[in-house]
């Protein structure tokens, strides 16, 4: 029996090979089919009326991957809780990358491509992301013109939403349509900058030296920190210096800071991807192991500890601020999330995972409140969300699309892990 | 008037600042010089700018890290760091990494550049750029294959669960489950995967102890290793080129390959030896760089290679003492630039100075030959 089938198969193969005409016929047929399918696909461009797509854009390659993995896990958990269904709609989730392996961090090209994809696909109603403030600068205006709702779990540059706190013309330049489409579930840097200065002052710091990485986020938060230093009687030594993040080491810079009278604390506005680890190393190499180093939330990830090497923190004291509470300090809904996350993935999530979860929950609520598949309706429903029972307690969106939640925490590093020190908004 | 101001500035104690900058600059410059030698020697012999050399240096650092991980010499998890294991680790790296880079550089010449020896000059140059990208991607892949050990100290382990397949799983005090751990003196080691494109921390084997404590200056054990290894190597290299028969053959080939061949010199062997020596010097630089800067990444070959190449051009490409001089100068310029006009402008300053020097002395500082260059 088997042999017969085998023979038959063989003969068929030979038959096809021997008659190229059939191949041509078959290809034409296939091509025709493909074309018809394409036409059908196009005519149904507005798609299934009951399907809504949520797209996210994070650096999925490069050293921010550890952080973005847990954010995406958070989003998936929120969607799984409702079984990818809201009212009559089924949700489809698209996880997009705005980084390239070559750069190791986000690139304007990738972020633009993701935003374009969201705009062109009529099923996409919500865009969760991006992670970097520089990336948000690129994608907000594109998505704004198409009224796509953006919910960022990590972008903290105040200029995105708050009039008068960013650069000139911000935030209106992001709103060509006149509507607000960018919201965030994380407290912005104006709060972080001033609370960082307050924290430094409470540690008895009198003199600081300020460095930044020359990016939107890093330079922004370092400037906000510098401006707040006056309010707390901290002296800023020298002028704020930008580093060139393409360089590999900053020994001379650190030596010159040291020899012009070492400060009590060095503040570096930057991320783990823009050489924060090397700054920490070179401080020790230049003999400033006794000087404190303070970093913003862009370094609140395991990748920072990895890049600096865990044993470095036996010598150097590092203080990292973060909008919200570390996973272990959360209560209520937040605690429940962390426990579920641990059960599912076997380890504690990174700091921003909870905001990924929260952003997805907000998206689902906006879709539910709007009740129809319409970008403007969903956008308006989202901005009107009040008293949201979030992971960090109840909060609302204010008139700019910012969260009213102002919880800020400070951590240090011990045994290769972040360790909670204080709640900065309660100092 | 200006001199007065400068003098006042110096007496105010800032001489220390500049002296420190010189020390830092020389230490970094010595590394650039080591890499620059690889560029300049190859150029001297076959007039090819081997753009893959910077990335070869990068591969060397990954080889060094692999050695440390494979032989468990990272020093992580040991209750106290023993000097013998550090010395052994350094000796192992300094012996095998240059061997590795020498072989890679030699094979690169045999496989890629040799078939193009008589092609137009642009062909090997473009292949060199191509090889640079190939190496860079190899580094990217290599990085993703090396897992990062992390120590979980014994006091943070709540429960140890032996698994049926012979591995061990632990539960930490904060409730995380970690599988595939290995017992070491100070606790448990776990191996984590690292995103391919991220910078890696190289184990800091050498202590940061200041050797001239009390002088207000800083010259650490790391710096002394940099100087202590690079200076003798450069002296040896000069002696090799000046005194040995192979060195003589190299100089002859550099002067005129055809005439050298007529004199009975096996030019291919000489070229092969040049690539091996250049590669080995790059390998030494990899080890010293990893030990002193302690961060490696697949992209670091580009910027370091660029500085080294600039050093070679600055000193007069093809000229061995010139490359050393150029390397040291670039180290110093970067360092002084960082102290005076600001960190952001250091690389701009280096290249501005390169342009100025080339305008007034197109052959570079020590270059004398006026043959047509690429």
pTM: 0.85
A–B CB contacts, 8 A cutoff, strictly below: 151
Instruction: Nearest by CB to A252, from B24, B208, B300: name it.
Output: B24
CB-based contact, B310 to chain A, within 8 Å:
no
Task: State residue B10's pLDDT score.
Answer: 52
Q: Which of A153, A142, A131, A217 is nearest to A175 (CA)?
A: A142
Contact in structure between B24 and A252 (CB atoms under 8 Å): yes
DSSP 3-state of A90: strand
Contact in structure between B147 and B158 (CB atoms under 8 Å): no
Instruction: Nearest by CB to B17, from A242, A259, A310: name it.
Output: A259
Backbone angles phi, psi at A244, to 5 degrees: -100, 110
Closest approach of chain A CAs to the CA of B320, in angstroms?
A: 25
CB-based contact, B224 to chain A, within 8 Å:
no
Interchain pair B197, A103: CB under 8 A: yes
Contact in structure between B170 and B160 (CB atoms under 8 Å): yes
Instruction: Nearest by CB to B343, from A66, A101, A241: name it.
Output: A241
b/e map of B139-173 (b: 16 or more CB within 10 Å)?
Answer: bbebbbebebbbbbeeebbeeeeeeeeeeeebebe
DSSP 3-state of B148: strand
- Residues B224-263: pLDDT tens digits? 999 999 899 989 999 999 999 999 999 999 888 899 999 9
CA dihedral for A55, A61, A64, A65, sign (positive or negative): positive
CB-based contact, B180 to chain A, within 8 Å:
no
Environment class of A3 (CB within 10 Å of its CB; exposed 0-12, middle 13-18, buried 19+): exposed
**How far, in Å, are A74, A262, B58, B202, B341 from residue A236 at the CA level?**
39, 12, 38, 33, 18
Closest approach of chain A CAs to the CA of B50, in angstroms?
A: 22
Block means of pLDDT (10 residues each) for chain B, 374 residues, are 50 75 93 94 91 96 95 77 87 96 97 92 93 94 89 84 85 79 84 81 88 84 91 92 93 91 94 96 96 92 94 91 94 92 89 90 78 41
Interchain pair B150, A247: CB under 8 A: no
Other beta carbons less than 10 A from residue A92's beta carbon? 16
Residues of B in contact with A258 (CB under 8 A): 20, 218
How open is the CA angle B57-B58-B61, to the nearest 5 degrees? 95
* Tokens at B260, concatenated: 């050298």
Chain B residue with CA closest to A238: the answer is: B342
Measured CA to CA, the distance from residue B16 to residue B24 in angstroms comes to: 12
Interchain pair A256, B20: CB under 8 A: yes
Chain B residue with CA closest to A68: the answer is: B195
Closest approach of chain B CAs to the CA of A94, in angstroms?
A: 21
* Tokens at A67, concatenated: 């952080």
Measured CA to CA, the distance from residue A72 to residue A56 in angstroms comes to: 8
Interchain pair B150, A416: CB under 8 A: yes
Interchain pair A104, B198: CB under 8 A: yes
pLDDT in single tens digits along all 427 residues of chain A: 444 444 444 444 444 444 555 555 555 555 555 544 444 434 334 568 899 999 999 999 877 888 899 999 999 999 999 999 998 999 999 999 999 877 778 999 999 999 999 999 999 999 999 999 999 999 999 999 999 999 999 999 999 999 988 888 889 999 999 999 999 999 889 889 999 999 999 999 999 999 999 988 999 999 999 999 999 999 999 889 999 988 889 999 999 898 888 899 999 999 998 999 999 999 999 989 999 999 999 999 988 998 898 889 989 999 999 988 898 888 888 999 999 998 898 888 988 999 999 999 999 999 999 999 999 999 999 999 999 988 778 999 999 999 998 889 999 998 888 999 999 988 8
Measured CA to CA, the distance from residue B184 to residue B170 in angstroms comes to: 13
Contact in structure between A287 and A258 (CB atoms under 8 Å): yes
**Tokens 């402008």 appear where?**
B345
Closest approach of chain B CAs to the CA of A286, in angstroms?
A: 7
Please state the separation of Cα A145 from the chain's center in Å: 22
């Amino acid at each position: 029996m088997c042999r017969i089938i085998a023979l038959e198969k063989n003969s068929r193969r030979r038959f096809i090979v021997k008659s190229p005409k059939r191949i041509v016929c078959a290809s034409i047929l296939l091509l025709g089919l493909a074309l018809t399918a394409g036409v059908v696909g196009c005519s149904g461009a507005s798609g299934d009326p009951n399907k809504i797509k949520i797209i996210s854009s994070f650096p999925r390659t490069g050293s921010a991957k550890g952080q973005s993995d847990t954010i995406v896990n958070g989003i998936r958990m929120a969607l799984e809780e409702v079984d990818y269904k809201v009212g009559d709609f089924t949700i489809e989730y698209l996880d997009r990358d705005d980084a390239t392996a070559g750069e190791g961090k986000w690139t304007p090209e990738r972020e633009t491509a993701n935003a374009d994809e969201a705009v062109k696909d009529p099923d996409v109603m919500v865009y969760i992301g991006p992670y970097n403030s520089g990336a948000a600068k690129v994608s907000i205006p594109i998505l704004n013109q198409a009224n796509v709702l953006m919910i960022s779990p990590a972008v903290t540059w105040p200029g995105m939403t708050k009039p008068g706190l960013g650069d000139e013309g911000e935030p209106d330049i992001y709103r060509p349509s006149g509507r607000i489409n960018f919201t965030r579930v994380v407290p912005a840097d104006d709060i972080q900058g001033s609370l960082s200065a307050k924290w430094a002052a409470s540690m008895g710091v009198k003199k600081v030296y300020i460095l930044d990485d020359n990016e939107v986020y890093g330079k922004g938060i370092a400037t906000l920190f510098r401006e707040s230093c006056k309010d707390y009687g901290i002296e800023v030594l020298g002028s704020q210096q930008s580093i060139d993040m393409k360089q590999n080491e900053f020994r001379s810079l650190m030596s010159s800071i040291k020899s012009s009278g070492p400060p009590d604390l060095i503040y570096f506005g930057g991320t783990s991807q823009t050489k924060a680890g090397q700054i920490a190393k070179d401080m020790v190499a230049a003999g400033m192991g006794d000087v404190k180093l303070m970093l913003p939330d862009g370094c609140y990830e395991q990748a920072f500890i990895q890049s600096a090497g865990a044993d470095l923190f036996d010598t150097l004291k590092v203080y990292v601020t973060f909008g919200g509470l570390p996973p272990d300090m959360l209560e209520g809904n937040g605690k429940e999330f962390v426990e579920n996350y641990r059960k599912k993935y076997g380890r504690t999530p990174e700091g921003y995972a909870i905001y990924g979860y929260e952003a997805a929950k907000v998206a689902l609520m906006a879709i539910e409140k709007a009740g129809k598949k319409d970008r403007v309706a969903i956008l308006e429903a989202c901005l009107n969300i009040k008293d949201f029972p979030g992971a960090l307690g109840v909060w609302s969106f204010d008139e700019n699309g910012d969260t009213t939640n102002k919880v800020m925490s400070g951590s240090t590093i011990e045994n290769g892990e972040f360790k909670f020190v204080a709640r900065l908004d309660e100092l | 008037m200006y001199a007065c101001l400068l003098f006042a500035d110096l007496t105010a104690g800032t001489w220390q600042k500049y002296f420190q900058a010189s020390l830092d600059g020389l230490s970094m410059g010595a590394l650039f010089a080591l890499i620059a030698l690889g560029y300049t020697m190859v150029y001297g012999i076959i007039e090819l700018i081997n753009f893959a050399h910077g990335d070869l240096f990068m591969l060397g650092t990954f080889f060094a890290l692999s050695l440390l991980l494979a032989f468990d010499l990272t020093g992580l998890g040991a209750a106290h760091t023993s000097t013998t294991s550090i010395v052994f680790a350094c000796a192992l790296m300094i012996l095998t990494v240059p061997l590795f880079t020498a072989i890679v550089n030699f094979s690169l010449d045999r496989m890629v550049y040799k078939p193009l020896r008589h092609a137009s000059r642009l062909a090997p140059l473009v292949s060199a750029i191509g090889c640079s990208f190939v190496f860079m991607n190899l580094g990217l892949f290599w990085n993703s294959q090396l897992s990062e050990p992390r120590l979980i100290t014994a006091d943070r382990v709540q429960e140890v669960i032996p698994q049926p397949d012979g591995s061990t799983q632990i539960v930490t005090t904060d409730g995380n489950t970690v599988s595939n751990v290995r017992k070491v003196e100070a606790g448990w080691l776990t191996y984590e995967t690292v995103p391919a494109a991220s910078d890696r921390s190289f184990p800091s084997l050498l202590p940061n102890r200041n050797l001239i404590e009390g002088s207000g200056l800083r010259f650490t054990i790391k710096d002394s290793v940099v100087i202590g290894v690079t200076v003798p190597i450069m002296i040896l290299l000069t002696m090799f080129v000046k005194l040995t028969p192979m060195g003589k053959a190299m100089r002859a080939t550099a002067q005129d390959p055809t005439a050298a061949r007529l004199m009975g010199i096996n030019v291919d062997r000489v070229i092969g030896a040049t690539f091996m020596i250049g590669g080995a010097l790059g390998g030494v630089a990899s080890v010293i760089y990893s030990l002193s800067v302690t961060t490696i990444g697949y992209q670091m070959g580009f910027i370091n290679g660029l500085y080294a190449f600039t050093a070679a051009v600055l000193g007069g490409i093809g000229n061995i003492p010139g490359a050393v001089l150029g390397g040291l100068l670039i180290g110093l310029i970067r360092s002084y630039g960082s102290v005076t006009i600001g960190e952001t402008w250091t690389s701009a300053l280096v290249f501005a100075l390169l342009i100025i020097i080339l305008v007034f002395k197109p052959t570079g500082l020590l270059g004398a030959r006026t043959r047509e260059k690429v």
